[in-house]
Structures are given as structure tokens and as C-alpha cells.
A and B are shown apart, each in its own frame.
Chain A
Amino acid sequence: MALDEARVDALDEALDEAWELAPQVALRDEAFGALAYHFTTRRLTFLKSRDLVDVVRLLGGSTTLREALDAAGVDAGSWDAYARAVLALADGDMVRRREVAA
């Protein structure tokens, strides 16, 4: 279906993009993962897995989301799920796309 294909494209695109934690966001580790707090919007989000926290922390130093996932040791079979999570975090401005110097 066209809609599903569009979703897959969006995930692929997200995997190939460069991301970073938004500068106004702080992470606090907890047993379940982490709290992410955005000081400007005052939104609190719960990152519900340690692996996701690792990936988010690695975003800024990676050229793509794929690279961050690989560095975090995330199994390639679940990369789409992580791409969805990163897009959801981007909706709340918790993470943002990063311009990469050519």
C-alpha cells in the first residue's frame, strides 16, 4: 500500500539523516531508561529503554542515525522501531535534525 511505502521511506530517510539532542533538553538516567526534559517547552518524556538512551546520546557524534544505532550495538532488525522513536522524539523537539558540513 502506498501509505505503508511512504512510512517505510520516512523511516529510511530518518536512518540516513544526522540528528542531535536538542540543546534545551537534559537527560536523567533511571533504571527504566531516562527522563528527557525540555527546558523551554517544559515537556517531560520518558525514554523507556536503556538502548534508546544510548542511541540518543550517540546521535550528536554520529553522521547518521544508522551510525548511532550501529555504535550502540542495536540489532539491525529493530532499527525501524528506533527510527520511529526518534521521529516521535523529534515531534516534541526533543531531538532535531542536524546540518552536516559537507
Chain B
Amino acid sequence: MTVAAERPMRLVEHFEHGLDAPICLTWELTYACNLACVHCLSSSGRRDPRELTTGQAERVIDELQAMQVFYVNIGGGEPTIRPDFWHLLDYAVAHNVGVKFSTNGARITPERARQLAVTDYVDVQVSLDGATAEINDRVRGAGSYATALRALDNLAAAGFENAKVSVVLTRENADQLDDFKALAESRGATLRLTRLRPSGRGADVWDDLHPTMQQQRIVYEWLLAHGESVLTGDSFFHLAGFGESLPGLNLCGAGRVVCLIDPVGDVYACPFAIHDTFLAGNVLTDGGFARVWRESSLFADLRAPQSSGACTQCAHYDGCRGGCMAAKFFTGLPLDGPDPECVQGYSEARLAADRTIPAASQDHSKSGSSHAPVFVPLGVGPAAPPARSCSEHPLEGFHPHVDHQGVARG
């Protein structure tokens, strides 16, 4: 060892090089869903028959415990559809793996709500994409607004503290932010707002549903004004291009500090990247989750220095760092260029030009289902049906105090 100290790496640089284990991760337990939200990240609907068994899922939890992954975000699909969901939740908590799960609320009965209220280390996130039934049900499906509100009411009545109301920001609900916040707070819940990603079925509706530039500016101002009283899962770091960074980790954590495990045990770089391009391995066939995390060549690539192309010339690069990899990929933009929602407008020309949207690697939609929502933009046709947000940023809920405890070495 040399005595001369080199410049210590900043924490963000450690993150870019990847940690020994994810900080937390997303685990889609099933592709089965009673809804068929038009923007579902995982194109959920039908159960995959190769879904992990209860025993296999327990082994994954054992590994997460051994790796000291303190927290897992469980989603789907609708995770509560799995008959062993409540067992796996208890199993995780008993093994020091805290759980936050996302649900459309259909199974959050008064009895389940009471059970959840007395379980430590469990957080519940109810998806809602409109502050009114009209706006919500167009994306998530007829009746889904009433279902979500009933679940929130059940949780509040049971004394479950601080549930989350999880909203995917769209062109149609962007002017309902105050209403969402009031709706959450009236039930003792916290609003969580995340970004619409063009992933899964979201690719089909992104052009019509992603917020306009003007809305992005309004949302940015609103988020700055509300600070940490609204959760964002660090979803909006591309908005840093407007000026100030929003609270949170402003970097892409894909394969570095986060990842996703899908219902069949496939490991992807991030929750918004269920595509063969971002498939790192499988927990059953590649020697377990820890081995995939530590040895996958895809993750090694993501942890190597990235080329950010023209973005590095931009005055706002340190804030947004080129934006979201998945958003670029699924809109057919180059990964080393600007985010499709670059607030400086640097992606507009590319979006307007010919581009090839990558074909989906998988689709679990219930084809031909008469219940599936068909999205028609407002003002173009009659109110159309539903969707389910499977969105889940793995860093949600953490409040990293990056700058507070750094003690200079004496």
C-alpha cells in the first residue's frame, strides 16, 4: 500500500462502478394481473407458467438476506394474485428483507389491511393514475379508481400508517398534482409521483401520454416547491436540465445499484428495461442472484465508464447525466445521446426523424380480452379504458444523506 492518498472517489462514482449488492431491487412476482393498464411496464396480464415456485422464491429471499439487500420493491403484474404472496411477504420480513409492494388495491380488504397494519417493515403502494375516476379509468380500466380508493380507505381505517399513493405522471393527469396530494393526505398517505416510461405497453401510448414540455416545466416547479413531502423514486432527474437538481440520487442506477428480477427469475438491469438487451442472467440457471449481480457481463459493461456523446458538451450534463437509458432505448434513440424528454429540447429533432422502436421481447397481455383498455387520447374519441402501473423505482423510500456523514480522514 502506498502512503500517498489518491483523490478519494465521490460517492456517486462508487455507485457508477457498482456496489457489492444492490441497494434495493424490484421483484415482479407475477405477470398475472386483473387489470390491463395501457402503460404497463411489464406488459402484464397472463401468468407465465414458468413462474418461480414458492421454494425458489424463498431461496431468492435467502440470497437477498445474505447479501444484505435491506429492501425489495415487489410488483407485477398484481403481486397479491399469487396464492403464496402473503407467505412470501412474511418470509421476507422474517429474513430482514423489508418489503414495499405495489398493488391496484383489489385484494386490500379490511381484513388484509388490519393484518398489514400490524406487520413491521411492510410498505404498501396503491397505484392511481388520475385524481378523478374519469382520468384514472381511461388508463387503468373501468372501476379501477373506485378499487384503489377503497383500498386506501381500508388501510386508513385499519390504522396502517403512511401508505403511498403511486401516480405515473401523464399528459392527462399533470394538472391534478394538488388534487393527488390532497387525496393522499386525506387518507394519511403520501403521494409518490413517477415518470411515464416508454417500456412494455408504455411504448404504445408514450407519444400520446408523456407530458408536454410545458407540463414538464410546471411539474419541475411543483416538485421543487414540495421537496421531500412528495416521493419521486428519483424518477425525474432528467428535469435537472431546467436548473436545480431535485432531491435524490441523480444518476442512472441500472445494474449498478438497482436491478429487477422478473417472475421467472430473469434479472434485468432496471425495472424499466424488461428486454433481452438488458437481460443479465437468471437466478435458477446462472448460479443464483448474487452470481448474476457480481459476474454478469452486461452489468460489468454498465459499470464501466459510459460514453454520453454530445450530452457531455451540455451545460446541464452534471445534473441529468444524459437521462434515462430505458427511455432512450424504447423510443429508438441512441443510448449515448439525450433523453427523449430532454428539457433543453436536444432530442426533438431525433424524435421527429425516422426511428426504429425496438420490438418487444415479451408480451403477457391478455390478447383479445374484452376488458383490456384501448387508449384513445382525450379529445379524439370517447373516453377509453384502463391500465396498471407496474412502475417501481428501486430506490424509492430511501432518503440518502449523501453529504452528511462524510468524515474526512485524519
Cβ contact within 8 Å between A26 and B70 = yes
What is the interface size of chain A, counting residues whose CB is below 8 A from a CB of the partner?
A: 31
B398 in contact (CB, < 8 A): yes
Q: Closest CB-CB distance, B274 to chain A, in whole Å?
A: 25
Q: Closest CB-CB distance, B123 to chain A, in whole Å?
A: 7
Question: CB within 8 A of A30: which of B19, B397, B398, B410?
Answer: B19
Residue on B nearest A27 in the bound complex, by CB: B68
Among A32, A51, A78, max chain B CB count under 10 A is at A32
B353 in contact (CB, < 8 A): no
Do A42 and B409 contact each other (CB < 8 Å), given the known contacts A32-B9, A32-B14? no
Do A46 and B407 contact each other (CB < 8 Å), given the known contacts A32-B9, A37-B71? no
Among B19, B71, B401, B402, max chain A CB count under 10 A is at B401
Do A46 and B402 contact each other (CB < 8 Å), given the known contacts A30-B20, A31-B14, A39-B121? yes
Residue on B nearest A84 in the bound complex, by CB: B407
Cβ contact within 8 Å between B405 and A88 = yes
Q: Return the CB mask of B369-405 against A: 1 if under 8 Å, else 0.
A: 0000000000000000000000000000111111011
B408 in contact (CB, < 8 A): yes
A48 in contact (CB, < 8 A): yes
Cβ contact within 8 Å between A39 and B407 = no
Residue on B nearest A41 in the bound complex, by CB: B399
B312 in contact (CB, < 8 A): no
Cβ contact within 8 Å between A48 and B98 = no
Q: Closest CB-CB distance, B297 to chain A, in whole Å?
A: 21
Cβ contact within 8 Å between B410 and A78 = yes
Question: CB within 8 A of A42: which of B20, B398, B407?
Answer: B398
B81 in contact (CB, < 8 A): no
Cβ contact within 8 Å between B96 and A46 = no
Q: Return the CB mask of B11-50 against A: 1 if under 8 Å, else 0.
A: 1001000011101000000000000000000000000000
Residues of A within 8 A of B402 (CB): 46
Q: How far is the CA of A92 from the CA of B404 in the complex (A)?
A: 11
Q: Return the CB mask of B277-309 against A: 1 if under 8 Å, else 0.
A: 000000000000000000000000000000000
Please list the 7 inter-chain residue pairs (A to B) with the smallest Cβ-Cβ separation, ordered nearest first. Answer: A78-B410, A48-B406, A75-B410, A28-B68, A37-B70, A44-B398, A32-B14
11 further contact pairs, Cβ within 8 A, besides A26-B96, A28-B70? A30-B14, A31-B20, A32-B14, A35-B68, A44-B23, A51-B407, A51-B410, A75-B410, A81-B408, A88-B401, A92-B401
